[in-house]
Structure 1
């Protein structure tokens, strides 16, 4: 009897072939054909197998994956990406995934480092894909604090500059101005709980449930490709493209700075479509950052932003403005929330809440259904094989999964360590947070921490299914729940914003860690090294992000003011959500509540239609969450992003292969260049160095009056 030599093939296939040998000449030909097919399948599997490519390379122990050079590079890139995220936080609030840039730049820096050491004969440890994964994890964890830390949302929403834009809840007990000390302390207290909350579930999520985690999987494929000969060559070309557009973006931002000596000066205020369109915030502001973001974001997001801008600033706000004196007093300032600003803000909030609630229910439903399906329908035998300490040679599980599973289960993180860590951090934060935020009582925090692990699991599981983190939605739930519990007379607005921060940090870091576990699983990086790099990256972020925000806060005097270079729109949105939760609908101007109901229901209906019609038609239906953003800000950034989307679309039509390979690198260069310019511009502002020129654009009649005035 012949034996099957195929790796990972069940023995019954060989048994079938040996039985057919006994049946005569015709069946022998069938047997030969079947053996050839099996051989072709084996060869095809070998070609597709990633781990066979790296089979000859030994996987370093988890401690060896955590190198000094990896964390030095991570710190440098963490600072760079924190500036970028902070700039986006304080302008539009739209933050694209920077995982590709982190992985690419991490590969480039360490590869350059190791080549120099290799030439000098001092190289002790080669650069591996596991170390590359550690860098990417650490960088994303570090810069992620700039988002989950609330510097563009709940934390900045506590500041006086945001509170004074409203006549409600702007008393001292509902205000907490930024200060470097308490911001760093707050982040260190709340940013690590999410890491401990989902560690015991890593095997269930990654191996038993086989969740996809699209971003984590895509990042792993990218890192794996970098460490092949062909991938390394492509990575060098991608880095060159990134460097070219980084230089262009940085120099263009430097050039623009000379013309921004006052408010509404410079190329960013160029009335591209005329002065009337400019008044209604329709113009191209020459920002490479938004063009780059548009190249990374899906086309539908960019179109949705533009549709939202046309609907609001092109149609609705001019109509509501005609009701001045009837719906709201005619003598109100443009920034007063009882005037037009109130309609633009609260209607946008209604759409965000409608979209968030719909997706929360949908993802929660999919999570519960998925759990039920996994627990009741899965094959116990396959789970037993996957969960085994070492892969069985006759298993039907693919070779890649066997190797990855073996390593993933070898370096265990004890569940008791996670439980003790979570309980210990919860006790510390329950005792210390009320000293930072007096309205946030200790029993509010205890309730949050009792509910948080369940919500963190839901967010991590939902992110694994859909790649959609609902951290802001969970934070909104905390705003309304804790804010209403505290009450308006006991600092409920500040308590709601602080509770939002606690909840957002837990659920956001939980889903980020599980994404990183997926990346580590596919690159053969140890779960222990992933956890440690996430902890170190989070600790870096707890210091870097407040320092970068403090630089912005001190350098730009009009930070958070509507119409300024850094309006911080989501800070206003989050604060007014908290006011709404504490004081009810009394803060809304006339007929605003009715319009809010309409747009809330509209957001739910649009989402339901998108899910009902299928993907082919849904890609032509705008996304309500994206549509809501220009309601408050205007369409200037949407036009930039649509231009980026158009560039990528045309490039794809001309040369799809090059567009796919170099599009993310070009976009990252555009984003990074202008983003890093904020560092020298902030230093110049702190040093009192002002731009020498103010370039403004005036109507002909206004210009004539200015000439007459100057002539007199």
Structure 2
């Protein structure tokens, strides 16, 4: 020990040269650190990269080619969202795919015109933002339009499953004309409700809007030389897996000539497990969805499937004849089906209400601090002036704010538009839904701007849009107000559509304003793009849904290819709001209360343990989805999650760069196969082969019968 200390303290004739060497090394290190800081600062100053490029006017950002590409992509994405809506109801974010494909199509377009000498306007990030906004707005109508929930929940096919289509004719079957009219009347109000708040939300409060911010960073990167090179590679990967997924869907079609035929009926874990929906159904779509969704979502789905179909439903089946009549068909809600649906509803409501009050609390607290801080100081609290990045961040903010405030949308225009559409809606909606009186609509429109603001603000803080929760509140309040004698079920479901469309489009528009703010796209071009995209969606979505509705006779039926699970859930919510708990089977209400409380408790625990540990605790909302459908799609999604997890372990950088492209290709390919599949079904062309799996005993009986 002493010997070592002496060596460390020993000095010799080389002392001065060593000091000089140390000093030189220190200077070099400081210079390197300064250089790295400058590089980091330059990297952070995105707007300095684009400083030499002129920002086109808001009219120049709205090009014909942008809307042609948007229309094509809108049809593609509407088919994908509609298929997901009508199968499991889980819809991942497709913003990355929309931005990537928009970039690819217009890049090819401009490259071709440039070679022919006909290119008049180069492709800019602002135009890319317009395309992404238009596509997401259009395909978003496939979700907020309620084709897999409240709108289809009004139909006779769904009402019959609830035994609610009695003498009072409590149903309204889909038709293209009234669906398009309904969507045109209710889908634009949300756009006008939050336009006056855009400066407060984006510039003053500096809300994050994580999805909008991520999309903006993606679009900004595409328009740098390095980003464009990566984008082209990502598009190639997307195209490769798109082709594979499309051809796989086409191949599977040949073997699905009847119920439970084909690869979707493959008893992966045995016939007993297959009976309880434990199997891998070879769906490229849900493998892709699993690669996009966080790991905890996929695990939560699987845990929910195991808890319900592996434990609860087999146990409740043993109480047949005691808890519910033994002779009831499997689809009757007064039997086992009732437990599946209402326990799922209770869990969804528990999770939804918890998050509603949580986000509402964060909204009110955030508003309080924002307003209090604004009175004390004009400097936003998120900006750290001592940071070496402050100068570049300040330049970015100054440049972006200058452009964002340049093209104002008059407040009088927004208020006038809201009042005009509200008046039209109050006059027309009662003709579409006689049960929905004009004064119900008036009350909704009086409270809707506040709800839209809360949802848009909460989405800016947490990236959660609680549109479906606001819709459920409308179901219960308007349904109970109307009452069973005056068509409360249809009134509640229609009110859900009105409220859900307003708050959903409000948060979507504010996300787009954030994307536009970060890419220097004009607020006017964002508003016009969202408006045109919404108008496209109001026509495309009903037409795509009508194709499914006519092509598949068993649409919405339990156990079919397209069971539309949320349609039955929403219908039964409306029944519950109007008639109370009288329809529930024995002990179902007790179990509902237990799961409602458990959903709140699990969320409390998730928030209490912190984000790092919360990733190991299942999400109640995700757990509830397989209660009705079964765990088969959760197995598909977990396979996708496992593929991504292994890929990240092998090469994290490559997985992060190309994982979303692979997932998007898998989703888009099989999703777009539904178009030719539907056309073949409409033309009466049936699959030629039924691939089915039988037990040994059943097979012996079949052979004996055929031999006889």
TM tier, smaller: over 0.9
Matched, 1:695 2:691: yes
In 2, Cα distance between the equivalents of 1:203 and 1:166? 47
- For residue 398 of structure 1, give the secondary structure of its aligned residue in structure 2: helix
Matched, 1:141 2:137: yes
The answer to whether the 8 Å contact 1:159/1:178 transfers is yes
Matched, 1:320 2:316: yes
Partner of 2:234: 238
The answer to whether the 8 Å contact 1:295/1:663 transfers is yes
Distance 1:313 1:385, change over 3 A: closer
In 1, Cα distance between the equivalents of 2:124 and 2:429? 41
Provide Cα deviations, 1:417-444, integer angstroms capped at 9, x if missing partner: 0000000000000010000000000000
Provide Cα deviations, 1:359-394, integer angstroms capped at 9, x if missing partner: 0000000000000000002453326999xxxxxxx9
Pick aligned residue for 2:378 from 376, 381, 394: 381
Pick aligned residue for 1:224 from 220, 241, 245: 220
Partner of 1:582: 578
Matched, 1:546 2:519: no
In 1, Cα distance between the equivalents of 2:576 and 2:259? 32
Provide Cα deviations, 1:109-147, integer angstroms capped at 9, x if missing partner: 000000000000000000000000000000000000000
How far apart are 1:617 and its partner, in Å? 1.1
Matched, 1:667 2:634: no
The answer to whether the 8 Å contact 2:45/2:392 transfers is no
Partner of 1:27: none
1:72-471 equivalent positions in 2, closer than 5 A? 72-168=68-164, 170-378=166-374, 380-382=377-379, 398-471=394-467
Matched, 1:638 2:634: yes
Provide the TM-score with structure 2 as the length reference.
0.93
Provide Cα deviations, 1:629-651, integer angstroms capped at 9, x if missing partner: 00000000000000000000000
Provide Cα deviations, 1:657-711, integer angstroms capped at 9, x if missing partner: 0000000000000000000000000000101100001111111111111111111
- For residue 702 of structure 2, give the secondary structure of its aligned residue in structure 1: helix
Partner of 1:681: 677
- For residue 150 of structure 2, give the secondary structure of its aligned residue in structure 1: coil
Partner of 2:487: 491
In 1, Cα distance between the equivalents of 2:619 and 2:380? 38
Distance 1:131 1:164, change over 3 A: same
In 1, Cα distance between the equivalents of 2:437 and 2:121? 51
In 1, Cα distance between the equivalents of 2:278 and 2:192? 46
Provide Cα deviations, 1:500-558, integer angstroms capped at 9, x if missing partner: 00000000000000000000000000000000000000000000000000000000010
The answer to whether the 8 Å contact 2:164/2:170 transfers is no
Matched, 1:532 2:528: yes
Distance 1:233 1:171, change over 3 A: farther
The answer to whether the 8 Å contact 2:346/2:593 transfers is yes
In 1, Cα distance between the equivalents of 2:441 and 2:203? 33
Between the two proteins, the alignment pairs up a number of residues equal to: 676
The answer to whether the 8 Å contact 1:160/1:170 transfers is no
How far apart are 1:236 and its partner, in Å? 0.5
In 1, Cα distance between the equivalents of 2:202 and 2:166? 47
Partner of 1:656: 652
The answer to whether the 8 Å contact 2:184/2:538 transfers is yes
In 2, Cα distance between the equivalents of 1:166 and 1:180? 24
Gaps of 5+ in 1: 1-32, 387-393
How far apart are 1:165 and its partner, in Å? 0.5
Partner of 2:559: 563
Q: Please report the RMSD computed on the Cα atoms of aligned residues, expressed in angstroms.
A: 1.9
In 2, Cα distance between the equivalents of 1:468 and 1:43? 34
Distance 1:228 1:104, change over 3 A: same
Partner of 2:16: none
In 1, Cα distance between the equivalents of 2:150 and 2:318? 33
Provide the TM-score with structure 1 as the length reference.
0.93
Distance 1:406 1:659, change over 3 A: same
The answer to whether the 8 Å contact 2:190/2:504 transfers is yes
The answer to whether the 8 Å contact 1:163/1:170 transfers is no
In 2, Cα distance between the equivalents of 1:36 and 1:242? 40
Distance 1:411 1:312, change over 3 A: same
The answer to whether the 8 Å contact 1:513/1:531 transfers is yes
